[in-house]
Structure 1
Amino acid sequence: MSYVRPIKFWEKDYNTKRVDHSNLRLISQIDRGPMMDDSNLNAIFYEHLTRSLQQSLAGDLQLGRWATTVHPGDCFILASNYLNCLVHIIEIGNGFVTFQVRGLEFRGTYCHQREVEAISEDITDNTGFCCCNISSPPGMLSVNNMFALRWLAWEVIASKYIIDGYSITDNSAVNLLQVHELRRLLVSLYVKCIIYYAITNDNLDKWLKNETILKAMEPIIANHRYVDNDQMFCAANDEDYDLNVMGISRTNFEELYGNWIQHCYERKLSNPNNSVEIHD
């Protein structure tokens, strides 16, 4: 016996705030560690799942894919590998349904892991009767399973439920980037992509006239021997790293990416719709 389940709860905004990596420094992302992005990836997964449920949940409830009868206040758990979602039915009408979704990451403790295993495990494995191993009639549960399932606070409604979505796979690049040559190649291609995007962008002329950008580039333009001594730069990853000054010099950068910058600029000039002024 428990308290009456409320029809609606979670009045507080529990939405996971996704991090926009487009405006974060590289050092801040690396200092966070690889496991800090799990909540960000899970937030994307649950947002996509919510959109899919908005399109299909009302029809699936009418077709009986979730249960024969669904009432306001019912709670369902969608389990997919190690990602679990709690769906709370608030109100059901003629062709519509109001629901709330909350992600459940069962990880870290044995109890959480056991709860996930209990939801997805096969109930027909245990065929015993108390301490004896007596086979049950075909299509019927054993005595042990009947008592065990009787005392559960939940029951499995559907073992297979298909919904539009995707799975999150940990595709680590640690093994791939152990070779220093591959690291330098990746960084060089990444820098070339940034150069291409910056030069071919329609807002380049505005950026070159922006006072904040001009002030930041002033020491680089004024000093031909300018060196960036950021701690993230190293000879193992950056081809334009200068060991003499222990950083990336303007001279090495121009030698490595000068031809690519010229190519991108000529590519932009070949487009008659683009016109921009590049200053030395």
Structure 2
Amino acid sequence: MTEQQSPPAPVMAWAERTLGPLAVLRGAAADPSLAHTWHVVRTGDGARHHVKIALNPGAFTRETFAHRHAVPALGPGAAPRLLATSAAHLALIVTALPGTPLDRLRLREATLRTVHWRAGSLLARLHQAGRHTGTAHHDAPTDLTRLADEAARHLDTVSDRLSTDEQKLVLALADRLRFVGRLPLGYIHGGPLGSSLLRSADAQLALRDFESARFAPVVLDFVHLACGPWIAQPPLRTAFFAGYGRTLGPDERLALSCLTALTAARRLAAAHALGDQVAVDTCEAVLDRVNDEVSV
């Protein structure tokens, strides 16, 4: 994967008009699935910032709205501060936060439990933040139906990489997801929490990257963790929901199991295509766990 070493000239010029002379510390990975983000330092005082270009106008609008209306509820130091936006460039400037992403932490389980407790507390504050319109409240439940439909369509293209039992499990859970009961709604992060949660050297936790933030069923924010660290270390899940302040209701538990299986199936197909046996084993463990949890 290559890097774009500097922002496009018009964006860099805008950033320097806003902040002053800048030096680029790290380029942006040229990955079409990610927003381009450059880590820059202001040469006058060494202050560090991120210059971001959103993938599309919708992502720009979501991240701008999140920073202005929801992120302040997280508290000082718990998220980057938005300094400037340019709709013409779909660009934002935010403060850079120190820390290591959650999915790269190598800590003892007792410490990880504390990290997940704090993550639960942080997500609870976000889910309760932000104002939503009547339209957003009406549209939020359709996220689950859309994901179920996508899973069924996706299965047609990856069926040769899944066993017959795995295909049956995915289709059955996609169908159940369409008829799950009413779920608690809130202002979700919507992105991969493993890379978006940062733990600093002084053990503080912060959340970044709000381009997918929106009003939706809050259970959607738990899927990435359920497909990752919670499989191998179930106490981390317990710690997270202790910090979150409540456990999941029956319909939420069912929805999370369905969403976890659909995500694992998609990742399993990709892992087979890449020949990544570690990822294959992880995804199959997720599907086995869900199969044990849900009677299909």
Structure 1 and Structure 2 fold alike (TM over 0.5) = no
Q: Which has the higher strand share?
A: 2
TM-score normalised by L of structure 1: 0.23
Which structure's relative contact order is higher, taking Cα pairs within 8 Å and 6+ residues apart?
A: 2
Q: Which has the higher helix share?
A: 2
TM-score normalised by L of structure 2: 0.22
